[in-house]
Amino acid sequence: MLAVITRFLTILAVAIVFAWLANGFWGQYAAFVAGLTVLSVPLIYAYFNLARLQKFILLNRVEALPAASGLWGEVFSRLERLVRNMKGQVRNIEKQHERFIQAFQASPNGIIMLDDQDQIEWCNSIAEYFFGLNFKSDALQKVNYLIRRPEFIRYLNDRLFDEPLLIEQMGPSANLSLMLQAFPFAENRRLLLVQDVTDLRKAEAMRRDFVANVSHEMRTPLTVMMGFLETVQTLDLEEPQKEQYLEMMMTQARRMKNLVEDLLTLANLEANTLPASNQKVQMSTIFALLKNDAEALSQSKHSLNFHADDQVNILGDERELLSAFGNLVSNAVRYTPESGKIDVSWSVTEHGQGVFSVSDSGPGIPPEHLPRLTERFYRVDRSRSRETGGTGLGLAIVKHIANRHQAQLLIESLSGSGSTFKLVFPADRLTSS
Using CB under 6 A as the criterion, which residues of the chain lie in contact with ligand ADP when the complex forms? 327, 331-332, 335, 360, 362-363, 365, 373, 378-381, 385, 390-396, 419
| CB-nearer residue toward ligand ADP: 110 or 363 | 363
Task: Give the Cα separation of 85 and 78 in Å (integer).
Answer: 11
Judge contact between 348 and 315, C-beta under 8 A.
Answer: no
Minimum Å gap between C-beta 375 and ligand ADP is 8
Longest Cα–Cα distance in the chain: 161
| CB-nearer residue toward ligand ADP: 294 or 365 | 365
| CB-nearer residue toward ligand ADP: 275 or 337 | 337
| CB-nearer residue toward ligand ADP: 127 or 324 | 324
Minimum Å gap between C-beta 366 and ligand ADP is 10
Minimum Å gap between C-beta 324 and ligand ADP is 11
| CB-nearer residue toward ligand ADP: 42 or 363 | 363
Cα of 190 vs its chain's centroid, Å: 26
Pairing of strands 189-196, 176-185: antiparallel
Judge contact between 391 and 376, C-beta under 8 A.
Answer: no
Minimum Å gap between C-beta 319 and ligand ADP is 18
Q: What's 18's DSSP letter?
A: H
Minimum Å gap between C-beta 388 and ligand ADP is 7
Minimum Å gap between C-beta 394 and ligand ADP is 3
Q: Strands, DSSP E only, in 86-142?
A: 110-114, 120-123
Kindly give, in sequence order, each residue whose CB lies less than 8 Å from that of residue 37, ignoring residues fewer than 6 positions away: 18
Minimum Å gap between C-beta 267 and ligand ADP is 16
CA distances from residue 111 to 120, 152, 376 in whole angstroms, order as listed: 11, 15, 37
Query: What does the H/E/C string look like for 366-426?
Result: CHHHHHHCCCCCCCCCHHHHHHCCCCCCHHHHHHHHHHHCCCEEEEEECCCCCEEEEEEEC
| CB-nearer residue toward ligand ADP: 195 or 413 | 413
H or E stretch covering 432: strand 430-432
Judge contact between 298 and 333, C-beta under 8 A.
Answer: yes
Judge contact between 110 and 123, C-beta under 8 A.
Answer: yes
Q: Is the dihedral of CA 43, 48, 54, 57 positive or negative?
A: negative
| CB-nearer residue toward ligand ADP: 115 or 343 | 343
| Amino acid identity at 254 | R
Kindly give, in sequence order, each residue whose CB lies less than 8 Å from that of residue 390, ignoring residues fewer than 6 positions away: 331, 334, 379, 384
Minimum Å gap between C-beta 416 and ligand ADP is 11
Torsion of Cα atoms, 165 then 166 then 171 then 176, to 10°: 150
| CB-nearer residue toward ligand ADP: 38 or 365 | 365
Minimum Å gap between C-beta 303 and ligand ADP is 15
- Phi/psi at 221 (5° precision): -65, -30
Minimum Å gap between C-beta 297 and ligand ADP is 12
Best CA proximity match to 411, nearest among 376, 378, 366: 366
| CB-nearer residue toward ligand ADP: 277 or 345 | 345
| CB-nearer residue toward ligand ADP: 22 or 365 | 365
Minimum Å gap between C-beta 99 and ligand ADP is 52
| CB-nearer residue toward ligand ADP: 112 or 380 | 380
H or E stretch covering 209: helix 198-234
